[in-house]
Amino acid sequence: MNKPQRDVTLRFLAEPQDVNFGGKVHGGAVMKWIDLAAYACAAGWSGRYCVTAYAGGIRFVAPIHVGSLVEVEAKVIYTGNSSMHIALEVNACDPKSLNRRLTTHCIVIMVAVDQNGQSEQVPQWIPKTEADKKQHASAVKLMEMRKQIGEEMQIFVE
Ligand SMILES: CCCCCCCCCCCCCCCC(=O)SCCNC(=O)CCNC(=O)[C@H](O)C(C)(C)COP(=O)(O)OP(=O)(O)OC[C@H]1O[C@@H](n2cnc3c(N)ncnc32)[C@H](O)[C@@H]1OP(=O)(O)O
């Protein structure tokens, strides 16, 4: 296997088929792009097939217009035994003016699985730069917060 790749960026044009009733790109389309980028990032890091275990903290900061050049950036910010925590950012711009702006961001957790859907070990990512260390620490903090949210939400799934 090649050296694990920490990040990936998908680049494409928002097409008319992605539009919602308000004339902007549908939130569901953005979430699909995010899932695809998270998968490509996790697969590139682990060299394995991966599934989405969690997606959260999504914030739609600004709408995306049809015809925009969209960039979905995904990067590993934490690895567990089989999980990869991935920070995603979606930026868009008019391809004529290249006035790039943030439209959406969130966190996705992907898990590497074998052919039977059992979780498999992934290479560990070790933060090196100050920015990496901050993001890693934030991922650990978010894990704790999700545990509390999960416990609170238990009444809705029983
Ligand atoms: C076949 C080849 C075709 C190739 C073709 C290519 C196709 C190219 C197109 C691809 C396009 C994009 C594809 C996207 C991928 C889908 O869209 S997948 C569809 C949506 N996702 C699913 O269906 C996943 C359903 N869930 C599961 O299967 C299981 O819950 C999981 C995720 C495997 C975990 O199972 P589990 O029994 O909890 O496993 P366990 O070993 O206890 O935990 C594993 C890890 O998951 C973590 N975890 C589990 N649940 C959670 C949670 N809710 N929150 C956070 N972490 C969690 C644990 O903390 C643990 O982390 P580590 O400590 O190991 O780091």
What does the pLDDT read at residue 37?
Answer: 98
Sheet holding 69-79, edge to edge: 7-13, 69-79, 83-93, 101-112, 50-60
| Per-position pLDDT tens, the chain of length 158 | 678 999 999 999 999 999 988 899 999 999 999 999 999 999 999 999 999 999 999 999 999 999 999 999 999 999 999 999 999 999 999 999 989 999 999 999 999 999 999 999 999 999 999 999 999 999 999 999 999 999 999 999 87
Output the domain CATH number for residue 111. 3.10.129.10
Query: Would you say residue 2 lies in a domain?
Result: no
Nearest CA to ligand 1 atom 15: 51
Domain membership flag for residue 20 = yes
pLDDT at 1: 67
Which atom of ligand 1 has the smallest separation from the CA of 36?
12
Any domain includes 74? yes
pLDDT for the residue numbered 126: 97
Residue 2 is predicted with a pLDDT of: 79
Asked whether residue 130 is assigned to any structural domain, the reply reads: yes
* H helical segments located in 55-129: none
Contact of 51 with 113, CB cutoff 8 Å: yes
C-alpha of residue 144 to centroid of ligand 1, in Å: 19
Half-sphere exposure of 8 (CA within 13 A, CB side): 17
Which helix (DSSP H) or strand (DSSP E) does residue 52 occupy?
strand 50-60
Tell me which DSSP letter residue 15 carries: P
46 occurs within a structural domain: yes
**Which residues are paired to 5 by β-bridges?**
none
Query: Does the residue 1 lie in any domain?
Result: no
Pocket of ligand 1 (CB under 6 A): 35-36, 39, 49, 51-54, 80-83, 109, 111, 113, 117, 119
Residue 114: give the domain boundaries: 7-156
ipTM: 0.86
Counting the structural domains of the chain, the total is 1
Question: Which of the listed residues 86, 111, 113, 125 should we mutate to test ligand 1's pocket, taking the one with most ligand atoms within 8 A of CB?
Answer: 111
CA dist., res. 120 & res. 50, Å (int): 9
